[in-house]
Amino acid sequence: MSAVLETTVPPVAVPERRPTWADVIQLARFEARQQLWFLPVFATLVLYVGYTVWRLLFPPDGMAAYPALQDVDRATQTGPLLLGIALFVCVNRAALRDRRRGTDRQVDAAPMEPWRRTLAHVLSVVPYAVLTALVVLGSFTWQALKPGAVGHGSPAELAVGPLCVLLFGALGVLAARLIPSSFAAPLLVVGLFAGALFLSAGTGDAPWSRWLSPVVTENSGDTLPSDLIGRPAAWHALYLTGLVLLAALGAVLAGGGQTRVLKAGLAGALALTLAGAVAQSGGDTPQLRAARERASVSPEKEQTCVRREGSTYCAFPEWTPRTATWAKVVDEVRSLAGGAAHTQPLLVRQRVEARYGLDSSSAFEPFADPHRVSVGAAWGGNRVPEFSAAVASVLVAGAEKKAGDMCDGRMVTVMWLALAWQDDPMQSLRNVRLDDSLSGSAIVLSPTNPLRMTAAQTDVVRELLGKPKGAVEAAVKAHWTELTAPKLTTADAARLLGAAVPKGGEDKCES
Amino acid sequence: MRELTRADAGRGEVRGLVRELAGPVFRTLPWRAVAAGSLLGLVAAAVPRLSDGAGGPWVALNLLRAAVLAHALALAFLLDDRARHTTAAVPTRRPLRAALRLAPVIPVTALWWTAALLLVPSSVRPPTGAVTLEAAAACALALAGAALAVRLSDEPRPGQSVAGALLVTAVLAVLLWPDRWPLFVAPGDPKWAGAHERWAWLLAAALLVLGACLPEPTHGRLRHRQPRRPLTPSGA
């Protein structure tokens, strides 16, 4: 006996749950976490953050203590490119995951539409862009807070790094939706590289093609006042923003999004990109060229001058805080000099060569007028003994132009004055010489024309720098007139200063 | 005498196997990837000719290196095999199957490389032997990477990961390779010969890794791992 139970199961009304934006964000967070498991993304991320921190904590030379912020902002741009390339490949791979695993049918049955999933892939790059922005801002702030920092950074230049990360990620999704094949992404990177080379070689680096690249680097490492740099950074940031939106919205459109809002957004992004691309390709304006000419040829019209301890220091407005460090060097060198040079007022003028922009580095002409010293825009590290050598050579020879032709025993006086006051005179001697040597003849760098040292002069200077400073200083002050007289031989200089007289007579300067 | 005949019989068996396998293996090769990589490489190599050698030998060499990279990225997909888990147990050993995969690609690569070299105008073409060494090393590195991925993972198609890793490694190497052992030098640089000695070592190392990774692991710990528990009850 068994009772047949006839019950009908009431149909369960499955609540139709439409996917919301919160779901998209949720999926994007998941995908962003997944990205970290890809070795290329993880490795480049660690490398990028690690290298940036390493460079901040252990700078390569003394110039890092005196950064110019208009250079610092640009220096943050190339690092994120690496992370961008890794993200391009890996986001592309994540966007093709269902296809590769054969689960696209199942996923298509899920309530979330393909375009929302595509959007989530695009949004999964955002945390990485935010991280890049934090690294960029952190490293810029670190540099800007240094007491020796001068100049102004540009927010548009700082935005390039994070925008590049976003752009590469969005391009990765776009590539996955347009060319759904596993081998396309790495090849596209190589193709983009070859295309960029072709464009730059084919157009001879015209401004319009140069600025199409996401990161635009400059040939010259020189520092210019920020109003003479002439990089259309703001337009370029707009262009990059347009490209990011174009790639992201294009990917969503290719992923099946068909709304009118999306198409309107795409048109807007295209307009933004075009506007940026056109505006950034203008090249240098006549006003900019005139301003550069003025700053290079007649800097006195642009500069502000400060008087310190009898000397005058003229600098471009952004560099005015640095006049104190220049004055310290001048005072140190003058205090070692004797005769009239001990109190000789000098005119120290900052010089830049801006006529060629940042295309090429160039030296400037030495001053012919007496008691004028040039100083460059960079400071710290080797620039200090170089400036010190220039000050000493002007005190001894009278003018920069004459100092360049100087090829006699006075070089001993100049080099001792320039280096004796420094913390580590031997290291400074090595740094100031072009070949970093401590013996033999060499070129001595200075802000304008280089000076020349013979092998005998090098030996005498090296011996003098090893002696107690006070004794040599007394000898320098006692024999100042002889030590600064033209045609002084190296042997005489050595004799006057109490050093061993070099054997083998007078030798010739390198030319 | 008996030993010899058995060996002969074995050789004949292998020959028959090769004849039977060559066709199907040839069809399963990632020809689309190789075609795309080679084509892109040819386009890159043709840039100096299209722009009349603008940029000089340095640009031409770098474009040729980009071309090699494109081809090597395609080669990273060569050992992808959907049927990997099915064929793991067949008596034909994996080195033989891998060799059958490599055999048709080598002449294709050689032909492609000749065409790429000829596309570069002779005025800016770098020394042929040395760049060929670089190209061989890059291709061998890609194959070694693919073999290593097959050997160390359970993934039947690791090509995409290998290509991604190869690309990022190439970019990182160009940027971060220590100056003490230069590798990416310009033609005419005094370090050119030393750098190519290093390329030869790289080639040798890559071939060694490739050879070492070809046999099927008999007691790999990855191989005998428990299958991952399905994420959802349905196992989808």
- pLDDT at position A1 over 80: no
| Domain annotation covers residue A7 | no
pLDDT tens for A390-408 read: 999 999 988 888 888 887 8
- Tell me, yes or no, whether A382 lies in a domain: yes
pLDDT on residue B119: 92
Strand, helix or coil for residue A298 = coil
Domain count, chain A: 2
- Do A164 and A250 lie in one domain? The reply is yes
Picking from A106, A190, A202, the nearest residue to B69 by CB comes out as A190
Domain finish residue from A229, A254, A283: A283
- Please report whether residue A292 resides in a domain: no
Cα dihedral value B176, B182, B185, B188, nearest 10: 160
Residue A307 shares a structural domain with residue A272: no
Residue A452 pairs in a beta bridge with A443
* Residue in this structure with the two tokens 């301003």, named with its chain if needed: A291
Residue A307 has φ and ψ, to the nearest 5°, of -105, 130
Is A502 among the domain residues?
no
- For residue A194, which residues of chain B lie inside 8 Å, CB to CB? 40, 43-44, 47, 63, 66-67
Cβ–Cβ of B40/A85 closer than 8 Å? no
Do residue A327 and residue A183 come from a single domain?
no
Instruction: Search chain B and give the residue with CA nearest A51.
Output: B176
Chain A residue numbers with beta carbons less than 8 Å from the beta carbon of B32 are 181, 183
The string of pLDDT tens digits covering residues B14-46 is 788 888 888 888 898 999 999 999 999 999 998
Do A85 and B32 count as a contact with CB atoms less than 8 A apart? no
pLDDT for B230 equals: 47
Same domain, A417 and A270: no
Tell me the three state secondary structure of residue B203: helix
Going by C-beta distance under 8 Å and a sequence separation of 6 or more, which residues neighbour residue A383? A63, A376, A447
User: Which residue among A283, A310, A340 closes a domain?
Assistant: A283
Q: Say if A15 falls within a structural domain.
A: no
Q: Does A314 lie in the same domain as A405? A: yes
Over the stretch A249-287, which tens digit does the pLDDT of each residue have? Answer: 999 999 988 889 999 999 999 999 999 999 999 888 899
Distance from CA of B38 to the nearest CA of A (A): 10
Which range of residues forms the domain containing residue A128?
21-283
Per DSSP bridges, beta strands A451-453 and A304-308 are unpaired
> Of A80, A85, A224, whose CA–CA distance to A160 is shortest?
A80
Question: Given pLDDT bands bounded at 50, 70 and 90, which one contains residue A247?
Answer: very high
Please say which residue of A219, A252, A283 terminates a domain: A283
CA distance A79 to A82: 6
Query: For A151-203, how does the pLDDT look when each residue is reduced to its tens digit (9 = 90+)?
Result: 999 999 999 999 999 999 999 999 999 998 888 999 999 999 888 888 877 77
A483 found inside a domain: yes
Rounded average pLDDT over A298-309:
89
Same domain assignment for residues A74 and A110: yes
Provide the pLDDT confidence category of residue B200 given band limits of 50, 70 and 90.
very high
Sign of the alpha-carbon torsion through A137, A270, A124, B148: negative
Task: Average the pLDDT over each of A39-53, A72-86, A348-362, B207-221 and give the range with the smallest value.
Answer: B207-221
Instruction: Give residue B219's pLDDT band: very low, low, confident or very high (50, 70, 90).
Output: low
pLDDT of the residue at B9: 65
CA torsion, ordered A168, A169, A175, A180, to nearest 10 deg? 150
- Looking at residues B142-148, what average pLDDT do you find? 95
Summarize pLDDT for A449-507 with one digit per residue, the tens: 888 888 888 889 999 998 888 888 998 888 898 888 888 888 888 888 888 888 765 56
Are the beta carbons of A183 and B73 separated by less than 8 Å? yes
CB pairs under 8 A between A and B: 105
Residues of chain A positioned with their CB less than 8 A from the CB of B161: 38-39, 93
The contacts of residue A315 (CB under 8 Å, 6+ apart) are: A303, A304, A305, A306, A322, A323, A350
Residues A126 and A226 in one domain: yes
**Alpha-carbon distance B157 to nearest alpha carbon in chain A (angstroms):** 9
The count of other CB atoms within 10 Å of the CB of residue A293 is: 12
Radius of gyration of chain B (CA): 21
What is the distance in angstroms between the Cα of A411 and the nearest Cα belonging to chain B?
Answer: 36
Tokens coding B119: 């596309």
Residue from A272, A292, A279, A158 nearest A211 by CA: A279
Residue A82's φ and ψ, nearest 5 degrees, are -60, -50
- Tell whether A256 is covered by a domain: yes
Residue B168 φ then ψ, to 5°: -65, -40
Based on the domain organization, do A326 and A467 belong to the same domain?
A: yes
Burial A303-330 (b: 16+ CB within 10 A, else e): beebeeeebbbbbbebbbebbebbbebb
Query: Looking at the structure, do residues A273 and A309 belong to the same domain, yes or no?
Result: no
Q: In the prediction, which pLDDT does A70 show?
A: 93
Over chain B, what is the mean pLDDT? 85
Mean pLDDT of A60-79: 91
pLDDT recorded at residue B87: 81
User: Is the Cβ–Cβ distance between B145 and B162 less than 8 Å?
Assistant: yes
Percent of chain A with pLDDT over 90: 52
- The verdict on a CB contact (< 8 Å) between A201 and B163 is no
Q: Which of A85, A100, A202 minimises the CB distance to B54?
A: A202
Residues A325 and A423 in one domain: yes
Higher per-residue pLDDT: A453 or A511: A453
- Give the bridge partners for A307, in sequence order: A312
Question: Are A30 and A171 within one domain?
Answer: yes
Residues A272 and A314 in one domain: no
**Better-predicted residue by pLDDT, A460 or B52:** A460
pLDDT at B138: 96
Confidence check: pLDDT of A420 > 80: yes
Q: How far is B11 from chain A (nearest CA, A)?
A: 37
pLDDT higher than threshold 50 for residue B233 = no
Q: How confident is the model at residue B178 (pLDDT cuts 50, 70, 90)?
A: confident
Burial profile A111-146: b = 16 or more Cβ within 10 angstroms, e = fewer? ebbbbbbbbbbbbbbbbbbebbbebbeebbebbbeb
* Residue in A183, A209, A215 to test binding to B, most B beta-carbons within 10 Å: A183
* Residue A291 C-alpha from the chain's centroid: 23
Which residues, 6+ apart, have CB-to-CB distance to B197 below 8 Å? none
- Decide if A228 is inside a domain: yes
Q: Report ipTM for this prediction.
A: 0.84
Rounded-to-integer distance, Cα A107 and Cα A117, Å = 10
Would you state the pLDDT for residue B236? 41
- Which of B50-59, B142-151, B226-235 is least confident? B226-235
What was the pLDDT predicted at B235?
A: 39
- CA distance to A248, A250, A453, B57, per residue, from A258 (Å): 14, 11, 75, 48
Distance between B29 CA and the closest CA of chain A, angstroms? 13
Residue with tokens 């090098």: A458
Q: How confident is the model at residue A225 (pLDDT cuts 50, 70, 90)?
A: very high
| Cα–Cα nearest to A119, from A244, A257, A243 | A257
Query: Taking 80 as the threshold, does the pLDDT of residue A363 lie above it?
Result: no
User: Percent of chain B having pLDDT more than 90?
Assistant: 46
What pLDDT score was predicted for residue B16? 86
Nearest residue of A to residue B72 by CA position?
A187
- The predicted model gives A321-339 an average pLDDT of 91
